[in-house]
């Protein structure tokens, strides 16, 4: 398990380092203004659909279904064609009426701003079909216990965007956003190509070719499998997409605030997502096939043993990340972003948003872990209900806190919504099961370590503060 976690974590780390370089360059070139807001809006819309259709829900339903079916080639190709057709249709609609979709995600933008943003949205949306095809192939690769290609492939998107920023450095801001938008599409092409190469190297392309060849002849044999896939997918899709809906609403509400608010949320969330992806998501990806396999074999004891190991691993690393992120938020933001067009005032705003996000890192991460149990037990509908309730809590809090706290209130509402999701998920997992995990000497070690680490960081902060030009 830990070998797979390390592979995922290292790949994600490389990608995120490149992502931070990309964001550093973006902050330096574009700063936090109307054009940075426009690019983040243009890139957010396909990412929203990508995470709804492609990543979490698809993989969590596809892998168990792929393992269960006796006609893997025909089943996988059938699912691929159905989803790709839907995604291509959405992409074409966005390109035909981009202003309508832009307005849907940024209602607070003026008509002139929407008119400027619409062409960028149309270009960025071509990333969606490319990344869905990549996700489909990555599901088959994960079934074969191959994680490296997917883990490292996101680096190609970041390299493509870094190249776009490099070649457009001296150009007008409107032209820079064009370069970035085409960079997104080129990054998607590169990600898909490396997955095709991995499939070829492992001899799996013949599975896809065979599926296309025999789809017409054997389509009747997979009716039951496809019906079960659909019944599990839609609740899983909604359950996985509520976090993205929450991010969508963040952007929607932030578009009514002062210029730069969308960018403050984006930059802070990028920092927050590093430990979440590096540890929680990497662990979840590596653990899910094992948990699903053990539960399918009715070996709940081994499933719980693996979950327990992952729980304590995440508890230690996410607690340390939370403490470090809160105490050193200003220094981290200053170091990463404050240069060029990114001002001291931008740093202060982003810091406040980051601290609100970091409060929720531990429950966010552990919720992803316990949610695997629900999906492995095919409790997609229950997980969807939990996600819906958490989303409602977020919406109520966001509308309540945006007036007094502004963009910081949106981040705090997101954190509390994530905490509620963790509580509901653990309740479904079983409090007795959780107590069984917590009854360990690791509990005491975790508390003592957290106290010592906090004191150490306070000392470090007080020592380095005089040497940093921060306000």
Same domain as 233, residue 103: yes
First to last CA, the chain: 44
What residue numbers bound the domain in which 172 lies? 34-240
Query: Under a CB-based contact definition with an 8 Å cutoff, are residues 341 and 33 in contact?
Result: yes
Instruction: Place 471 in a pLDDT band, splitting at 50, 70 and 90.
Output: very low
| Digit-coded pLDDT (tens) for 363-413 | 989 998 898 888 878 787 888 899 899 999 999 999 999 888 888 899 899
Half-sphere exposure of 304 (CA within 13 A, CB side): 13
Angle between helices 173-201 and 111-124 (to 10 degrees): 20
Q: 447 and 299 in one domain? A: yes
What confidence score (pLDDT) does residue 298 get?
80
What share of the chain in percent tops pLDDT 90? 18
Q: pLDDT value at position 369? A: 87
8 A C-beta contact, residue 212 and residue 77: yes
- Same domain, yes or no, for 455 and 321? yes
Residues 173 and 304 in one domain: no
Q: What is the DSSP string of 234-248?
A: HHHHHHHHHHHHHHH
pLDDT over 90 (residue 7): no
Name the domain count of the chain: 2
Residues 353 and 381 in one domain: yes
User: How far out from the chain centre does Cα 97 lie?
Assistant: 27
pLDDT of residue 283: 86
User: SS3 for 55?
Assistant: coil
**CB of 48 within 8 A of CB of 249?**
no
Do residues 124 and 184 lie in contact, with contact meaning Cβ atoms separated by under 8 Å?
yes
pTM (two decimals):
0.72
Which H or E run contains 20? helix 2-30
Query: What is the length of the chain?
Result: 471
- Picking from 211, 240, 269, the residue at the C-terminal end of a domain is 240
Task: Please say which residue of 188, 205, 240 terminates a domain.
Answer: 240
Amino acid 53: pLDDT = 55
Q: Is residue 7 part of a domain?
A: no
pLDDT on residue 216: 78
DSSP character string of 111-155: HHHHHHHHHHHHHHTTHHHHHHHHHHHHHHHHHTT--HHHHHHHH
Neighbours of 10 (CB within 10 A): 15
Structure tokens at 137: 């192939």
233 with 265, same domain: the answer is no
Residue entry with tokens 């680096």: 155
> Confidence band (pLDDT; 50, 70, 90) for 467?
low
Q: Kindly state whether residues 186 and 127 are assigned to the same domain.
A: yes
Is residue 423 very low, low, confident or very high in pLDDT (cuts 50, 70, 90)? very high
Specify whether the CB–CB gap between 288 and 63 falls below 8 A.
Answer: yes
Whether 204 is in a domain gets the answer yes
Cα→Cα distances 238→56, 85, 138, 241, 333, Å: 10, 20, 21, 5, 33
Last residue of a domain, one of 190, 210, 240: 240
- Same domain (yes/no): 209, 298: no
CB atoms within 10 A of CB 347: 26
Whether 356 and 400 map to the same domain: the answer is yes
User: Which of 145, 146, 113, 127 has its CA nearest to residue 51?
Assistant: 127
- Can you state the percent helix, strand and coil of the chain, rounding each to 5? 90, 0, 10
Triad 134, 233, 207: Cα angle to 5°: 45
Q: Give the other-Cβ count within 10 Å of 172's Cβ.
A: 10
271-285 pLDDT, tens digit per residue, is 898 888 888 888 887
**Band of pLDDT at residue 434, cut at 50, 70 and 90:** confident
DSSP at 54: I
């Amino acid at each position: 398990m830990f070998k797979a976690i390390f592979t995922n974590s290292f790949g994600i780390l490389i990608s995120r380092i490149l992502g931070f370089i990309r964001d550093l360059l973006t902050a330096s070139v574009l700063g936090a203004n109307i054009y940075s807001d426009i690019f983040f809006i243009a890139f957010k819309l396909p990412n929203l659909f990508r995470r709804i259709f492609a990543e979490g829900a698809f993989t969590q339903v596809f892998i168990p279904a792929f393992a269960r079916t006796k006609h893997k080639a025909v089943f996988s190709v059938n699912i691929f064609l159905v989803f790709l057709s839907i995604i291509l249709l959405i992409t074409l609609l966005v390109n035909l009426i981009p202003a309508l979709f832009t307005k849907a995600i940024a209602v607070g933008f003026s008509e002139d701003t929407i008119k400027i943003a619409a062409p960028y949205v149309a270009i960025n949306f071509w990333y969606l079909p490319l990344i869905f095809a990549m996700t489909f192939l990555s599901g088959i690769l994960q079934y074969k216990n191959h994680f490296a290609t997917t883990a490292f492939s996101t680096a190609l998107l970041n390299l493509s965007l870094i190249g776009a920023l490099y070649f457009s450095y001296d150009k007008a801001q409107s032209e820079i956003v064009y370069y970035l938008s085409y960079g997104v599409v080129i990054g998607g092409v590169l990600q898909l190509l490396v997955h095709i190469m991995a499939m070829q190297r492992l001899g799996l392309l013949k599975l896809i070719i065979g599926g296309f060849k025999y789809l017409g002849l054997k389509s009747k044999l997979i009716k039951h499998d496809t019906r079960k896939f659909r019944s599990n997918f839609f609740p899983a899709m909604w359950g996985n997409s509520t976090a993205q809906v929450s991010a969508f609403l963040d952007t929607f509400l932030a578009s009514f605030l002062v210029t730069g608010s969308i960018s403050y949320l984006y930059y802070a969330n990028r920092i927050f997502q590093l430990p979440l992806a590096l540890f929680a998501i990497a662990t979840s990806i590596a653990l899910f096939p094992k948990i699903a396999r053990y539960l399918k074999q009715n070996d709940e004891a081994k499933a719980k043993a693996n979950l327990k190991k992952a729980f304590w691993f995440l508890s230690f690393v996410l607690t340390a990340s939370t403490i470090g992120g809160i105490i050193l938020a200003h220094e981290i933001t200053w170091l990463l972003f404050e240069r060029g067009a990114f001002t001291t005032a931008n740093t202060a705003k982003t810091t406040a948003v980051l601290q609100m996000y970091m409060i929720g890192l531990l429950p966010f991460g552990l919720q992803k872990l316990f949610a695997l149990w629900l999906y492995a037990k095919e409790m997609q509908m229950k997980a969807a209900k939990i996600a819906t309730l958490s989303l409602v809590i977020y919406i109520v809090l966001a509308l309540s806190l945006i007036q007094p706290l502004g963009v910081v209130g949106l981040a705090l509402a997101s954190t509390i919504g994530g905490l509620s999701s963790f509580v509901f998920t653990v309740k479904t997992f079983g409090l007795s099961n959780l107590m069984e995990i917590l009854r360990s000497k690791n509990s005491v070690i975790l508390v003592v370590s957290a106290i010592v680490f906090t004191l150490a960081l306070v000392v470090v902060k007080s020592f380095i503060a005089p040497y940093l030009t921060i306000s």
